[in-house]
Amino acid sequence: MATPETRSFDLTIIGSGPGGYVAAIRAAQLGLKTAVVEVAPQPGGTCLHWGCIPTKALLHAAEVYDTARQAQRIGVRCERVALDLDEVHRYKDRTVQANAKGIEFLFRKHGIALLRGRGKLAGAGRVAVDPEGEAPYTVATRHTILATGSAIAELPGVSFDGERVIHSDHALQLKRIPASLLVLGAGAVGVEFASIFASFGSKVTIVELLPRLLPLEDEALGTELEKAFRKRGIACYTGTRVEQVDVHETGVRVTAQRQGTPLTLEAEVLLVAVGRRPRTADLGLEATAVKLERGYVEVDAMMRTAEPGVYAIGDIVPTPALAHVASHEGVVAVEHAATGRARAVDYDKIPSCTYCNPEVASVGLTEARARERGYEVRTGSFPFSASGKARILDDMRGFVKIVAEARYHEILGVHIVGPHATELIAEATAALELEATTEALFHAVHAHPTLAEAMAEAALGVHGRSIHV
């Protein structure tokens, strides 16, 4: 058997997150001898171990807890409902481990070599692997994909201590529910953790520099989410600039400015959720032609860097930092490496999902972005308050909004806030991929009673023809 120093591969991937491991499986399907270099004990990356999966497990626990406490509204009595945080963590960890073992199984099934250690470029066609506690070695490779993901961004002047000032990794492991929680940042991470801890019993406050929650979404979604959060008792301070953070014995004091007015907020714990930064340091890029812009790797539509044979995908490139984007970029990179051709990712048709309560999801252009691009825009919306299924679910918050162009009625974007929004968006994603019109959407018969009927009604609304409003 060859020693590690003499091993060679058609493709070596540095990083095993949703970009890296999907790329590896696709490469094996195409007959490439493939290796994945991973420094963590298990494959899966941040998404599996510290992001998507454990966070959504906590969100599901929060949803069940809320449902049980409110069940008497529909005639179901649940006596002595209580939150067992230790058991919640065990459930979350079981979920993560099952997924991690699933990836390991897929690697074995496809004959993918999992090389433990820190990987970096080591010259043309070479990748260095530095295992913890063992001698480093180098493998030869025809192609390399950089898929090292991102790390938590820090707020200048604010230090994490894991107790009073925490980030999302700390939040996933808290052993007690703080009486009060101040969340700094109202992107997806911030609003999801705000939703979790509000359900678990914390008094939650959100502070956001930009004018609304979820500032990257269509304006109507952020406005509706803030309305729903306030009804849940979550205080929202948008358009607010933090000037100082002081940690004291019993909590944290935040000094801020809101529309020129001084503001002081206090909480037992401060969760900083101001974004993530690409992990591009110590990858051996200095000796290559790879170009960086603000820490991100520059790539073309095939995910190629300026260094021959080297591709980059996921959170280290300046595209939407979403797990499913990384996966599709990985497939593009692999198929190009294997065949010389691939279908590029259309970033205008990427679904975005936020799993707070209520859920938020979107795909395509916002109304503002569509107008910026010169489209004559028509919109239609349908409230879940007029949906029979939403009334059955006893959750009538939110709406479906469709953005279409006026001449041919092609659907440009769909934006949802409300029950099961993250599942409903799949129909809209397919519609955009097929370049569907609003007519095609409402001529497709939607079963009754379903939440999906709201999609057809919103499409009718573009033409002023909604039936149930």
Q: Which long-range contacts (CB under 8 A, 24 or more apart) does 64-69 make?
A: 65/199, 65/200, 66/199, 66/357
**DSSP labels, 205-236:** EEE-SSSSSSTTS-HHHHHHHHHHHHHTT-EE
Parallel, antiparallel or unpaired: strands 113-116 and 34-38:
parallel
Structure tokens, 82:
């209580």
User: What does the buried/exposed string (b/e) look like for 442-458 if buried means 16 or more CB atoms within 10 Å of the residue's CB?
Assistant: beeebeeebbbbbbbbb
Question: Could you identify the residue written with the tokens 């101040």?
Answer: 182
Q: Check 49, 448, 463, 468 and give the catalytic one.
A: 448
Structure tokens, 110:
């496809």
Instruction: Write the single-letter amino acid at 174.
Output: L
Helices (H), 11-167: 20-29, 45-49, 52-70, 85-110
Q: Which residues contact 186 (CB under 8 A, 6 or more apart)?
A: 194, 206, 207, 208, 210, 212, 213, 214, 215, 222, 236, 238
Instruction: Verify whether residue 167 is a known catalytic residue.
Output: no
- Which residues are the active-site residues? 448
